Structure 1
Amino acid sequence: MTPEELSVLVKTTLAEAVDAGHITLETLPEDVRVERPKSRDHGDWATNIALQLAKPAGMAPRQLAEILSSRLAEHAQVTRVEVAGPGFINVTLDAAASGQLAHTIVEAGDTYGHNQALQGHVINLEYVSANPTGPLHMGHTRWAALGDALLRLLRASGAEVTAEYYINDAGSQMNVFAATVLAEIHGEDRPEGGYPGEYITELADTVAAQRPDIRDLPRQEAHGLVRELAYQAQLAQIRGTLESFGVHFDEWFSEKSLHDEGRIHAAIATLREQGHIDDRDGAVWLRTTDFGDDKDRVLIKDDGEPTYFAADAAYYLSKRERGFSEKMYILGADHHGYVGRLKAMAACAGDDPARSIEILIGQLMSVKGARLSKRKGNVIALDDLIEWLGTDALRYTLARYPADSPIDVDPDVLQSKTNDNPVFYVQYAHARACNAARNAEAQGVDHSSFNAAQLNHPREEELLAHLATFPVTVARAAELREPHRVARYLEDLAGAYHAWYAKCRIAPSTLDDGTVEPVTELNRTRLWLNSATSQVLRNGLALLGVSAPEQM
């Protein structure tokens, strides 16, 4: 029995008690959460549903819990039900009901762990969004890994999510970028504030190859042409880097389009209709202080030019117009000031910021011994990190910690093939399970039979308990926006698997005389459990964008 099936059983039991008149409730809860108790002595699963419903039911929590527990105890797959503390219900399942999970997981395959916790949520998830004026560097690495892991978690939990990259292709930085590349084409010194790095030379060569006449064009015409060609080349390089890191975006949204298509002025008109626009001192202001911001924000300066915040407002409204009821941003530690103003802007647009916009602020990472890239321009480039440490090691490590905690990555640990390296530890568990399956199958063990009741060894009970919590872990990680919960779960599961592997043989034993014991139903059933474990390890690693090697 899976946690989801037990949850349904508790809800069904509650409905039956209400129908019988033993409990009075106007409405039943949409779902019932079951969790692993801290101590296995308290059973396999626990629920606090009696505590939640006591007040609306008009009865003491323990009284309600006793009614439910007596009914649950009658179920064939339940061995024992106890009421603990103020009204917790602890459930111990029949061994066969617990063991059946191994069969369920193998049958579910890649979909095991998927759930509907966020069904109905339509989310635009924006992350990375680096300026297209240079290669991605270490400052973008963590957001790429975290954003993509969160995307996978949200989708696995039933949400409809679009991954979006906001291209900052408008503003003065693009003109400086074009001027830098054009100066390189003409063999001139880099302009003041220009971009350093040998990649500028590469871009200049690319542009010159596309337009051999570039040096002969009038300066202003050449500047505009270089701006576009160098931008497209740099953006293509960014896309390639992200794809090599396993990160794919559904939408690449151009900031420039907001200006070219008149969306900024349309957004200001929308905000004006909501009654939060002021015209003063020759400028256009949005009264974000109406909703808790520390100061009002200028949308149009007194010289008639829109501000970056005006583009932010237009971009937000564009997302709303495209049907995204929830807008999620992943921003760096230097963007704390954006939280208040963006939420206030959403409120000025007539939305409920508690529901329509979510901003995740993360801390930066550092890597011991990482060297600046002369070619990329005094940065530690993501391409270099991938080549040095590998995609799997980077992605797993960056997903393993809460976003709001700084990370100092130790390359020696990430490159080691020991249990001190968490990604190696988890990947090795998967490879070991695959190898165990190959060895067992070579000795004639297959999936032709399954007897859940035989999975009664204490190590098997522990392993099954870990496997059962995977869907709950995925749902919780998605709800809390915390991919690190999946990484830590995988490490616990790997530990439980290694302990089981040491005590419970899958393949038949070889006797002292060299003969091999016949294949039994226990061997076959344990192969199912082994396969279930490798499936969950594989599913969990996939949620983090990490591979699951079959041999190491």
Structure 2
Amino acid sequence: MRALTHLRGLLGSILEKKGAEWPEKATIEPPKDKKFGDMACNIAMLTAGKLGRKPRELAEELARELLEADPGLSKVEVAGPGFLNVTFAPSFWQQTVEEVLEARQCFGKFNLGRGAKVQVEFVSANPTGPLHIGHGRGAAVGDSMARILRAMDYEVSTEYYINDAGRQMRLLGESIWVRLLELLEKPVAYPEDWYKGEYIIDLARELVTLKGKALADLPPAEAQDICYEYGMKSILDGIKKDLADFRVEHQVWFSEKSLVAAGAVERTLADLKARGLAYDKDGAAWMGTTQFGDDKDRVLRKSTGELTYFASDIAYHADKYARGFNTVVDIWGADHHGYIPRMKAAVQALGRAPEDLKVILVQLVNLMRGGEQIAMSTRAGQFETLADVCAEVGVDAARFMFLSRKSDSHLDFDLELVKQQSMDNPVYYVQYAFARICSLFAKAAERGVAKPAPSRELLARLDTPEDLDLMRFMEQYPDILASAALTLSPHVVSFYLRDLAGLLHRYYTMHPVLAAPDEALMRARMLLLEAVSVVVASGLELLGVNAPEKM
């Protein structure tokens, strides 16, 4: 961030004196090969024509003027048709250590969002069973995304949409009911696609204890309503506990049933019809989503009079925007990808821009044990719950693994690998980098060596390629956070932490710290490693993962 901002400022001033503006397509970025310097810029090729100059000739002139403008640049070379390859002096990178140690946990965080209001709705699983590992991945993505956005000065509200209306909830009531009848040795007619998990039997058993055998003598519809209400509350309480244990916070729990009961869906449908965006056909109510780019119009109310999920979702999103959110982020399972165009159409029908709705897709998790895949099916009752997985591998390991790949990529989660304390385990690899530094400082304290205060004199000793690699990489942290926030991609932070940990582990094996050749160099290296520990702890906190001092 500082390198990019600094170089752009220098080049901008030079261009302004030449009567040229900064081109929209100009880029400043680290080159793929370190031999080409710290930053590469294409500015000369984009402005040469407007200035009536040849690109390479202009680039050579800019190179000379950059070196004259800033003694902190050690080298500026021209490559190819006019690329500027800029190398900063070590003193520039050494300032990064000072910055990190002064800002501590605030390093890398700035007012990117400028207080814009964002709602992140995630998990939102039907309360028909415990959360499984797939829900856990969505929970980690949503919660970490909210943490990153807040760190970058967005005003974020997190929400869980409770799907407590519709067929799935009725089926939950029926499933508990038939299990209750089984327990009471009554005749049973099994519904189609019912929930068969052990938790359904447990709920039925609890109801028998609470209500007694009289429940079986009630009219089936009344008994099933009781089963549904009890089952939903019990399951939802379990979901809330599992999420809290997983370090996930939802500030708002929004009931679909309350939306329907308040008449919000009917009001939204009436508004769409009044504006000519919905119509009746074949006894059903439709929305003209094709006029907003969808491949076909969609049913809002079936000919039976039953509302579709789409109708409720439109009303729900209307409610979100009415609450003042600038951007609404929905995190869905990857199997909902086909639902995106119609919701984008609905958002436009509500008078919003399509980009006011962001949809993040979360792919399936292949849960494995020792390389063998574990079969999972919620309805059949064959699944590993999120709570069970966390109990086996720990919350830290589970969260980091869920965030170890882009959310729309498939993820293999091997329980045995994640439990190993080895460098092959990604979460151990990163956490060990922090613990390793803490261990070093503990040894220093035992020897009576206090943490040194930063000074330019000490930091000037950090001049090896490995020193500079660590400092350059830490300097990128603000850009990493900005990228993660703008693209809604928490995995970007995970990738960065693994690379930073790799540089730290390599450094540790190549350069002794407490056994450095002289005291000044020891203190300089202590400052560098302390800065690394600050950045690692900050990144882990944004992922919802602890930074343990001992491992």
Q: Judge same fold: TM > 0.5, yes or no.
A: yes
- Shift of the 32–525 alpha-carbon distance from structure 1 to 2, 3 Å rule, reads farther
Whether the 8 Å contact between 2:56 and 2:81 is mirrored in structure 1 is yes
Root-mean-square deviation over aligned CA pairs = 3.0
Tell me, yes or no, if structure 1 residue 234 matches structure 2 residue 235: yes
1:528 aligns with 2:508: no
1:166-212 Cα deviation digits (max 9, x unpaired): 11001122222223334444535474143222322333455566667
Structure-to-structure mapping, 1:321-400, within 5 angstroms: 321-353=322-354, 355-369=355-369, 370=374, 377-400=381-404
Question: In the alignment, what sits opposite 2:473?
Answer: 466
Instruction: State the 1:431 CA deviation.
Output: 0.7
Distance 1:72 1:7 in 2: 14
SS of equivalent to 1:163: strand
Deviations 1:253-310 (A, max 9, x none): 1111110111101211332344321122222110111122222111122233321110
Deviation at 1:117, TM superposition (A): 3.9
Relative to structure 1, the CA distance from residue 328 to residue 65 in structure 2 (aligned partners, 3 Å threshold; closer, same or farther) is: farther
Give yes or no for contact 1:168–1:254 (8 Å, CA) kept in 2.
Answer: yes
Residue aligned with 1:366, SS: strand
The corresponding residue for 1:514 is none
Q: Counterpart of 2:29 in 1: which secondary structure?
A: coil
The residue aligned with 2:13 is 16
Alignment-mate amino acid for residue 23 of structure 1 = G
Going from structure 1 to structure 2, the CA distance change for 1:51 and 1:343 (only over 3 Å counts) comes to farther
Check conservation: 2:454, 2:527, Cα contact below 8 A.
no
Matched with 1:512 is: none
Determine helix, strand or coil for the equivalent of 2:549: coil
Letter in 2 for 1:16: S
SS of equivalent residue, structure 2 residue 325: coil
**Judging changes above 3 Å, is the alpha-carbon distance between structure 1 residues 180 and 341 closer, same or farther for their aligned structure 2 residues?**
same
Counterpart Cα distance in 1 of 2:318 and 2:61: 51
Structure 1, unaligned runs of 5 or more? 510-516
* Cα distance in structure 2, aligned partners of 1:59 and 1:255: 64
Distance 1:332 1:391, change over 3 A: same
- The farther-off stretch of 60-69 and 110-119 is 60-69
1:148 Cα deviation from its structure 2 partner: 2.1
SS of equivalent to 1:239: helix
- Specify whether residues 253 and 89 from structure 1 end up closer, same or farther in structure 2 by C-alpha distance, changes over 3 A only: farther
Q: Cα 1:327–1:54, aligned 2, differ >3 Å: closer, same or farther?
A: farther
* Aligned equivalents of 1:185, 1:199: Cα separation in 2: 12
Classify the secondary structure of the residue corresponding to 1:387.
helix
CA distance in structure 2 between the aligned counterparts of 1:479 and 1:246, rounded to whole angstroms = 23
Pick aligned residue for 1:448 from 441, 453, 466: 453
Q: 1:290 to 1:414 in 2, by over 3 A?
A: same
Asked if the contact 2:121–2:158 (Cα under 8 Å) also holds between the matched residues in 1, the reply is yes
Distance 1:88 1:114, change over 3 A: farther
1:503 to 2:510 alignment? yes
C-alpha separation between the residues in 2 aligned to 1:395 and 1:331?
18
Among 34, 37, 54, the residue aligned to 2:31: 37
Q: 1:338 is paired with a residue of what secondary structure?
A: helix
- 1:218 deviates by 4.4
- Measure, in 1, the Cα distance between the counterparts of 2:536 and 2:281: 60
> 1:268 aligns to what SS in structure 2?
helix
Structure-2 separation of matches of 1:528 and 1:208: 65
Alignment partner, residue 437 of structure 1: 441
Alignment of 1:181 with 2:176, yes or no, is: yes
Task: Provide the C-alpha distance between the structure 1 equivalents of 2:424 and 2:329, rounded to a whole number of angstroms.
Answer: 34
Q: Which residue of 2 aligns with 1:405?
A: 409
Q: Which residue of the partner structure matches residue 513 of structure 1?
A: none
Match of 1:417 among 421, 430, 446: 421
Where 1:82 maps in the other structure, the secondary structure is strand
Is the alpha carbon distance of 1:48 and 1:213 closer, same or farther for their aligned partners in structure 2, counting shifts above 3 Å?
farther
The answer to whether the Cα contact below 8 Å between 2:76 and 2:86 also exists between their aligned partners in 1 is yes
CA distance in 1, matches of 2:349, 2:50: 37
Distance 2:337 2:208 in 1: 41
Post-superposition offset of 1:472: 1.4
Partner in structure 2 of residue 7 of structure 1: 4
Moved more, 374-383 or 133-142: 374-383
1:549 aligns with 2:548: yes
1:330-366 deviation per Cα after TM superposition (whole angstroms, max 9, x unaligned) = 221221220121112222223221x111222232111
- Name the CA shift for 1:17/1:465 in 2 (closer, same or farther; >3 Å): closer
The CA deviation at 1:313 is 0.8
The equivalent of 1:162 in structure 2 is 157
Amino acid at match of 1:9: H
Single out whichever of 296-305 and 309-318 deviates more from structure 2: 296-305
Amino acid at match of 1:396: F
1:58 Cα deviation after fit = 7.5
Determine helix, strand or coil for the equivalent of 2:381. Answer: coil
Q: CA deviation at 1:19?
A: 5.2
CA distance 1:435–1:190, change in 2 (3 Å) = farther
Q: Which moved more, 1:217-226 or 1:190-199?
A: 217-226
Q: Aligned equivalents of 2:259 and 2:366: distance in 1?
A: 35
Aligned CA distance change for structure 1 residues 50 and 481 (closer, same or farther; 3 Å) = farther
The answer (yes or no) to whether the contact 2:265–2:315 under 8 Å persists in 1 is: yes
Q: Is the 8 A contact 2:195 2:379 kept in 1?
A: no
User: In structure 2, what is the Cα distance between the partners aligned to 1:16 and 1:213?
Assistant: 84
Is the Cα–Cα contact under 8 Å of residues 113 and 474 in structure 1 kept in the other structure? Answer: yes
Match of 1:478 in 2: 485
Shift, 1:216, TM fit: 8.5
Structure 2 length as normaliser, TM-score?
0.88
Q: Which aligned pairs between 1:99-138 and structure 2 lie closer than 5 A?
A: 99-119=94-114, 121-138=116-133
Q: 1:190 to 1:217 in 2, by over 3 A?
A: closer
> 2 CA distance for matches of 1:244 and 1:357?
29
SS at match of 1:257: helix
Do the aligned partners of residues 58 and 479 (structure 1) sit closer, same or farther apart at CA in structure 2, a change above 3 Å counting? farther
Give the 3-state SS of the residue equivalent to 1:454 in structure 2.
coil
CA distance in 2 between partners of 1:441 and 1:387 (Å):
35
Structure 2 Cα separation of the partners of residues 469 and 205 of structure 1: 57
In structure 1, the partner of 2:282 is 281
Contact 2:11–2:66 (8 Å) recurs in 1 = no
Instruction: Measure the CA separation in 1 of the matches of 2:214 and 2:531.
Output: 61
CA-CA distance at 1:33 after TM superposition: 6.3
1:166–1:254: 8 Å Cα contact kept in structure 2? yes
Q: How far apart, in 2, do the equivalents of 1:173 and 1:441 lie?
A: 60
Aligned residue number for residue 72 of structure 1: 66
Using the alignment, how far apart are the partners of 2:26 and 2:547 within structure 1? 33
CA distance in 2, matches of 1:24, 1:45: 21
Residue 129 of structure 1: CA displacement? Answer: 0.9
Give % identity.
Answer: 38
Displacement of 1:66 in angstroms is 5.0
The gaps in structure 2 that reach 5 residues or longer are none
* Cross-structure match for 2:501: 494
Checking the alignment, whether the CA contact within 8 Å between 1:395 and 1:545 is kept in structure 2 is: yes
